[in-house]
Amino acid sequence: MRIIAGKLKGRKLVSFSASHIRPTTDRVKESIFNKLQTDIQEARVLDLFAGTGNLTIESYSRGAQYVEAVESHIKSLKIIKDNLAHLQVSENIKVIKQDVLKYLQKYAGPAFDIILIDPPFTKALSHSVLEIIGSSQVLQSGSIVVIESAKAERVDENYNGLKFLEQKSFGDKKVTFFKGEN
């Protein structure tokens, strides 16, 4: 796993193998960030189910102003912090240990420009998370929401507060893009 572009381009990230961890592949990550390239500069980014911090650090590397990573798994949090320390990155990145659904329901801060979501495929959380995001304070009009999910998992085109943009398939997974309409 490595950073694809930006100020940390080519730097390697630490990972570990566990059934709940499935880091976003370079191919999928490149596709996501190619779509976001004009929006990422100076953006406030929220990375839900942050895992190893792969998307968090890629966002920072590509010029995001601020990135908030939310993860509840202890081993994953340690990997995120190890990656940030290894890359000597701590400015403008906040790591939060909390269940994502609870975080979304309680969030009361400023909205985010980009929301990246990569829930565990085994838990089929995509539909639930998207339903909550549509009415959450994390979303504003114009926010870009990107969710990675299993190809077979249900991800509708219509959610309150979200406008479907496009969906791309990559083997056994898909990436779906929405835009906030709040």
- 141-to-82, 114, 117, 148, 161 alpha-carbon distances in Å: 34, 11, 18, 21, 8
Token code pair at residue 128: 């639930």
- How far is it, in rounded angstroms, from Cα 116 to Cα 90? 19
- How far is it, in rounded angstroms, from Cα 139 to Cα 144? 9
For 9-23, 29-43, 80-94, which range has the lowest pLDDT when averaged over its residues?
9-23
Distance, CA of 165 to chain centre? 17
- Alpha-helical (H) ranges within the chain are 26-36, 54-61, 74-86, 100-106, 126-133
- How far is it, in rounded angstroms, from Cα 39 to Cα 41? 6
Which range scores top for mean pLDDT: 10-19, 38-47, 146-155?
38-47
pLDDT digits (tens, 9 = 90+) for 87-136: 999 889 999 999 999 999 999 999 999 999 999 887 789 999 999 998 89
pLDDT digits (tens, 9 = 90+) for 65-90: 999 999 999 999 999 999 999 999 98
Flag whether the pTM goes above 0.75: yes
Sequence-distant (6+) residues with CB within 8 A of 91 are: none
- How far is it, in rounded angstroms, from Cα 126 to Cα 150? 9
156-182 core/surface letters (b: 16 or more CB in 10 A; e: else): eeebebbeeeeeeeeeebbbbbbebee
The domain made up of 26-180 has a fold known as Rossmann fold (3.40.50)
What residues does each domain of the chain span? 26-180
- How far is it, in rounded angstroms, from Cα 62 to Cα 41? 7
* Other C-beta atoms lying within 10 Å of the C-beta of residue 59: 28
Choice between 37 and 115, residue whose per-residue pLDDT is larger: 115
Token code pair at residue 130: 């998207």
